[in-house]
Amino acid sequence: MATTDDGDHAPKGAETTRPEPPPDRPAGRWRRLRSSPPHVRRVGTALGERVNAMSYLPKWVILGATIGVVAGLGAVVFYEALTFATHVFLVDLAGYHVPTPAGEGFSLGSAGYTRPWAIPLVVVLGGLLAGFLVFTWAPEAEGHGTDAAIDAVHHNPRGIRLRAVVVKIVASALTIGSGGSGGREGPTAQISAGFGSLMARLLDLSPEDGRIAVSIGIGSGIGAIFSAPLGGAVLAADVVYRDDFEYEALLPGVLASIVAYAIFGGAFGYHPLFAVPASLVFDHPLQLLWFAVLGLLAGGIGLLYSGAFYGTVRLSARLPFTHKLRPAFGALFVGLLALGVPEVLGTGYGWVQRGLDNQLAHVPLVVIILLPILRIVATSLSIGTGGSGGVFGPGMVIGAFTGYALWRVLEGVAPGFGHDPAPFVVVGMMAVFGGISRAPLAVMVMVAQMTGNVSMLAPAMVAVAIAWFMVSRADKSIYASQLKNRAATASGRLQFGLPLASSLSVSDVAAAPRVVLGDHVTIGEARGVLEAAGVPGAPVTDERGTYLGTVEIERLRLLESEGRDDTPLGPVVDATTPAVAQGETLDVGLEALVHGGGGWVPVTGGDRRVVGILAVGQVVRGYRRALVRDLDRVAQIGAGSMAVEEQVGPRSVLAGQRIRDVSWPPGCVVMTVQHDERLTFAVGDTELAVGDVVSAVAPLDGADALRRLVAGEAVDERGGVGAEQPLV
């Protein structure tokens, strides 16, 4: 929402700054959420006041345990839905039983197809049903749900719709149950992440707490469905960044994952997904050489996986027919491929188990070598065309096939290679997906728990490190929504550039709201009030004055054009817009501004009543006051120094140079650089331009030389354009 330079709401006609959906993301992810029923809001408000007033430990014991319960129940529901869909499509319609791993019955599956003509038909039918369901009701449910949840962590923790969660469950069961290549972790992650998002809305959690709630939802859901609670807890902290760690989510994630695993295990048993030989130990140091080779191979396969998947996504977007038919189009090729290679059907976990037990010896070597690539093709066609499912599970299957293929090629030929494929299958799972997911620690721990064996962790570190290094050098990931690190988030960049924000309170800079609308006001009346006030939007409250969300004038105009001018505001409120508590520090307010669209957000009191508006203009003014205050303190560093502020002149030799490349006067310390109203701390890579204002500390006898250097012109007796103040 746009603001004027003085921090008030934008004048009439101003455009909002809420971003448009990126072209490679489904538009449905940016749809508005309706406000909850009044009785739910009242309960949420009462609970939110209590929870937000708690200290860290009791708050996250309650929130983490609650998310864990939902994650465990969600994993049970989806597992049953997938089992049912698999039986209907593949068993009843196609007459084919897929193999299952030890943790799911240890079935070898059918020896062949009894009705091979039915295989492509059932895969296409599942893709067709899933496509119509997703693109009719919740387009954001397409693809792999984990990536959508990661996107919510970074951009709007309150923004996951419950409808998308329900659609994801059904669509993923249809896609995978009919034979599509996908993982079941995506739907379970979105279930618990969606509940974390719901809690953030109902309880009015702070942006940081909302981000943690969605993160631990991702980890606990995946940890439950894979019976790997510790791996899920680490994943909650490891998967949201490519090169960083969300450490605030680790301890709450442990609690949530334990609770989720307890519930899922209570329904299906507490045992690992895969069984490995009891004799599986690392006792041949020479094998480290071959694990290094596996790491190189895994890094390349991981890059191929990511490139093929997102290449398919881009190609699918160019198909000349509706989105609803595209998953069926991809499913047709998967079904035809499965006629010759049944290993590409479904989750593939049963085939991993057979690889661990060396029960694929009858498969021709050329097929074994091609299996990782064929599984990549099948997953890209199943999920990349708009089908619904995860990419975590297929990534581990691809890794298992990679390790088994290397073992088949070198077994009996390479010295010290061993006669058991299990070590290479296990390490292959860790290396391929640990590298391309950019979450190596989490994947290693998770696979160790999935196999019930930790003896391969040490040698796996060699392969995983090499694969991770290859992928990181290429700066790729299977999760497109991952950010590089914490500093790469929009709020992180703002807080880095405005480090004093944590010393200010939101109440110090917020302004009184110009317009607050009740949810009973009609769309037509609200549009008139906003136009008369000259603001692009306003907060909305219920009859008790409790904050519900926001409305925007452009949205109201669109609804009026549809003949809904007499409709009350309640059903059209954007409940995803965060509010910030008046007692929070300004850095929390900055994060709320980013999640709310970057322009303004409501400020609420302890009872969630709207008491102010925090806009960009107020942040800038408040920060300037804090900066002046702190510079006054800096000005007292010592009697032999001087504070210098000078503008880079058009004839200055500094223009176009980086700070580290400049020969500054002895004793000079550059502190900040202001470029086009943007103030940042000076670092070595900061490039100076004409018009930049450089603030520095210099010795008394070097201040004049510094000013001449920056200005690039003679300095008159009055001090020129610079301003010098002796430090006292």
pLDDT digits (tens, 9 = 90+) for 146-185: 888 998 898 888 888 888 889 999 999 999 999 999 999 8
In this prediction, residues 693-711 reach a mean pLDDT of: 84
How far is residue 16 CA from its own chain's centroid?
Answer: 25
pLDDT tens readout for residues 71-102: 999 999 999 999 999 999 999 999 999 999 99
What pLDDT score was predicted for residue 19? 33
In this prediction, residues 20-43 reach a mean pLDDT of: 48
Handedness of CA 638, 641, 642, 648 (dihedral sign): negative
**Residue 122 shares a structural domain with residue 185:** yes
**Residue 496 shares a structural domain with residue 640:** no
Question: How far apart, in whole angstroms, are the C-alpha atoms of residue 214 and residue 489?
Answer: 16
CA atoms within 13 A on the CB side of 264: 32
277: in domain: no
Identify whether the C-beta of residue 126 lies closer than 8 Å to the C-beta of residue 179. Answer: yes
Identify whether the C-beta of residue 569 lies closer than 8 Å to the C-beta of residue 519. Answer: yes
**Residue 101 shares a structural domain with residue 231:** yes
What pLDDT score was predicted for residue 516? 92
**Residue 70 shares a structural domain with residue 188:** yes
Could you tell me what percent of the chain has a pLDDT over 90? 47
* Residue that terminates a domain, selected from 268, 295, 328: 268
Identify whether the C-beta of residue 577 lies closer than 8 Å to the C-beta of residue 1. Answer: no
**Residue 658 shares a structural domain with residue 709:** yes
41: in domain: no
pLDDT tens readout for residues 502-517: 667 888 788 888 899 9
What pLDDT score was predicted for residue 297? 97
* Residue that terminates a domain, selected from 453, 483, 513: 483
> What CATH number corresponds to the domain at position 586?
3.10.580.10
Confidence of residue 384 (pLDDT cuts 50, 70, 90): very high
pLDDT tens readout for residues 99-109: 999 999 889 99
Could you tell me how many helices (H) and strands (E) the chain has, helices first?
24, 11
What pLDDT score was predicted for residue 467? 96
178: in domain: yes
Position 457 pLDDT exceeds 50: yes
Q: What φ, ψ does residue 667 adopt, rounded to 5°?
A: 85, 0
Position 307 pLDDT exceeds 80: yes
What pLDDT score was predicted for residue 707? 87
Position 9 pLDDT exceeds 60: no
Which range has highest mean pLDDT (383-397, 563-577, 705-719)?
383-397
In this prediction, residues 632-658 reach a mean pLDDT of: 73
> What CATH number corresponds to the domain at position 688?
3.30.70.1450
What pLDDT score was predicted for residue 594? 77
Question: How far apart, in whole angstroms, are the C-alpha atoms of residue 35 and residue 602?
Answer: 16
**Residue 615 shares a structural domain with residue 707:** no
Question: How far apart, in whole angstroms, are the C-alpha atoms of residue 161 and residue 141?
Answer: 10
What pLDDT score was predicted for residue 24? 37
Helix (H) or strand (E) holding 604: strand 600-604
* Residue that terminates a domain, selected from 596, 620, 644: 620
Question: How far apart, in whole angstroms, are the C-alpha atoms of residue 173 and residue 188?
Answer: 11
Q: DSSP states of 531-598 as a string?
A: HHHT-SEEEEE-TT-BEEEEEEHHHHHHHHHTT-TTSBSGGG-BTTS--EETTSBHHHHHHHHHHTTS
Confidence of residue 5 (pLDDT cuts 50, 70, 90): very low
In this prediction, residues 291-317 reach a mean pLDDT of: 96
What pLDDT score was predicted for residue 485? 84
The better pLDDT of the pair 668, 525 is held by 525
What pLDDT score was predicted for residue 484? 87
**Residue 188 shares a structural domain with residue 91:** yes
In this prediction, residues 186-208 reach a mean pLDDT of: 88
Global pTM reads: 0.77
What pLDDT score was predicted for residue 68? 96
Q: Which amino acid is at 47?
A: L
Average pLDDT, the chain: 84
**Residue 106 shares a structural domain with residue 147:** yes
In this prediction, residues 350-378 reach a mean pLDDT of: 94
**Residue 470 shares a structural domain with residue 515:** no
Question: How far apart, in whole angstroms, are the C-alpha atoms of residue 645 and residue 648?
Answer: 10
Of the ranges 193-202, 579-588, 670-679, 714-723, which one carries the lowest mean pLDDT score? Answer: 714-723
**Residue 597 shares a structural domain with residue 689:** no
pLDDT tens readout for residues 213-236: 999 999 999 999 999 999 999 999
Position 625 pLDDT exceeds 80: no
Confidence of residue 208 (pLDDT cuts 50, 70, 90): confident
pLDDT tens readout for residues 577-624: 888 888 888 878 888 887 776 578 899 987 788 999 988 777 777 777
610: in domain: yes
Q: Which of 488, 494, 492 is nearest to 241 (CA)?
A: 488
What pLDDT score was predicted for residue 503? 67
364: in domain: yes
What pLDDT score was predicted for residue 212? 94
**Residue 130 shares a structural domain with residue 251:** yes
Q: Which domain holds residue 217?
A: 55-268
349: in domain: yes
Q: Which amino acid is at 544?
A: R
pLDDT tens readout for residues 32-59: 445 566 666 667 777 877 888 888 899 9
Position 653 pLDDT exceeds 70: yes
Based on the structure, what is the number of domains in the chain?
A: 4
Give the pairing of strands 669-675 and 693-699: antiparallel
Q: Which of 433, 325, 344 is nearest to 385 (CA)?
A: 325
Position 400 pLDDT exceeds 80: yes
7: in domain: no
Tokens 């249809």 map to which residue? 174
Confidence of residue 640 (pLDDT cuts 50, 70, 90): low
What pLDDT score was predicted for residue 283? 76
**Residue 153 shares a structural domain with residue 220:** yes
What pLDDT score was predicted for residue 598? 55
Question: How far apart, in whole angstroms, are the C-alpha atoms of residue 569 and residue 129?
Answer: 35
pLDDT tens readout for residues 488-497: 776 666 666 6
Position 718 pLDDT exceeds 60: no
Position 416 pLDDT exceeds 80: no
> What CATH number corresponds to the domain at position 113?
1.10.3080.10
Position 544 pLDDT exceeds 90: no
221: in domain: yes
In this prediction, residues 514-523 reach a mean pLDDT of: 90
Position 658 pLDDT exceeds 60: yes
